[in-house]
Chain A
Amino acid sequence: MAEDEVILLGFWASVFGIRPRIALEEKEVKYEYREELLVGNNKSPLLLQMNPIHKKIPVLIHNGKPICESLIEVEYIDEMWKDKALLLPSDPYERAQARFWADYIDKKLYDPAKKIHITKDDELEAAEKDLIEVLKMLEGVLGDKTYFGGDNFGYLDIALIGFYGWFPTYQTYFNFSIEAECPKIVGWGNRCMQRDSVAKTLPDQRKILELPKLIRQRLGIE
């Protein structure tokens, strides 16, 4: 794959943006990462050109061709660079399970994870409860495995790990400990952090603690 040009447009704190980034790191693909200035709505011309329909990150640009939607990008990366670190299992049934649970994460986890930071006080407890319910379900899927992929870090681990990056914010802002309720998920996240691909790309902890405050200010929420 000589002379491959790989560019990734992302946002440092995005739970979706991190997915293709970790995939590229796991595959040891050389890529150029470009940070999009999402706070203040200053999306780059390249982002708007490459993802005109959704205008969202992440966008993977491979030799000038854009691929959009984070999980679609992870599959693309897995198919394109298949000589290294396979991210999806090889068995079709196991692949279906991984895709099912990644879809579950997108359908069920994102909303309460976001809501906790932008909701009014009287809805906070419900959002926390929803979040824990989903994480407990995922704990059941993880079981006693090292990773969701079993011994191999893979697609489903990549789908979830971005959310782990936000756990410290719940503790700091709401004294809401994920570890107390879902120790296995936190243990899993800690193990993932031992991997270069994750340690390198997960948001800086101090930086992320400032973000919810900024978000609430911009949305005019007290």
Chain B
Amino acid sequence: MAGEKVKLLGYWASPFTLRVHWALKLKGIEYDYQEEDLPNKSPLLLQCNPVHKKIPVLVHDGKPIAESLVILEYIEETWKHNPILPEDPYERAKARFWVKFVDDKCVPGIFGTFSKVGEEQRKIAKEARENLKILEGELGKKRFFGDTKIGFMDVASAWIICWAQIVGEIVDIKLVDAEEMPSLVSWFQNVLETAPVLKECTPPKDELLEHNKGFHKMLVASAST
């Protein structure tokens, strides 16, 4: 598929943008990246994703695809080498199930822990930990959810561990417990160490921490006005 223009519109600190970087990098696909200034979204972004006006958006040969998981499936189907999804339909369904579980259950829990306070925060953090424990159960003794190699769930969701640790540090509530989640706690690092090409495009943790600290200050300030 040489010569076809691939462009990714994203935001450096967005884990959903990171998903798409990871998929493209794993498949060795060349692409242009456009960093969006979220308070001042580009005309291209608004034109390419008029429905949600959100990043990431992948533009391939002038045609836009929005929603990070939809983009991942598109990448998988368009560039068939280095498959991320397994071949067996049942294993594919399982991978999709767990990715959805992270998006539907873990992400709101972690974001809720980040943005709420008091009793509401404690309750949502407890739920978030329970859901992470469920993930730990599924990962088990495996290095990756893709078993011996990086798969769909790893590409789509390993970032959750890094983010959960960052949130935990900022609000001083432990979400990723090394004792209760021994496999999960190293999942994100295992992916980065196994695939240097992914490490290269992943923002360093301390930069993400600083960024999210600033974001948290903003949330707290606006909550009290």
Contact = CB atoms under 8 A, between A and B. Distances in A.
A151 B147 CA distance: 41
B93 interface: yes
Contact of B92 (A79, A95, A100, A137): A79
B65 A100 contact: yes
Interface string A87-99: 0000011011001
Contact of A95 (B51, B74, B97, B100): B74
A72 interface: yes
Contacts of B78: 92
A69 B100 contact: yes
A73 B89 CA distance: 10
B134 interface: yes
The bracket for how many chain B residues form the interface is: 20 to 34
Contact of B93 (A75, A93, A95): A75
Given A72-B100, A93-B65, A104-B51, A80 B134 contact: no
Contacts of A100: 65-67, 70
Contacts of A92: 74, 77-78
Contacts of B65: 93, 96, 100
A68 interface: yes
Contacts, number: 54
Contacts of A68: 97
B63 interface: yes
Nearest to B58: A96
Interface of A is mostly: helix
A4 B185 CA distance: 40
A76 interface: yes
A75 B152 CA distance: 16
B213 interface: no
A79 B90 CA distance: 9
Nearest to B137: A53
Contacts of A65: 90
Given A62-B90, A76-B89, A103-B67, A96 B97 contact: no
A10 B60 CA distance: 39
Interface of A: 53, 62, 65, 67-69, 72-73, 75-76, 79-80, 92-93, 95-96, 99-100, 103-104, 137
10 contacts: A72-B96, A73-B93, A76-B92, A93-B60, A96-B71, A96-B74, A99-B69, A100-B70, A103-B69, A137-B51
Given A75-B93, A96-B74, A104-B51, 11 more contacts: A65-B90, A67-B93, A76-B89, A76-B93, A93-B60, A95-B73, A95-B74, A96-B65, A96-B70, A100-B65, A137-B51
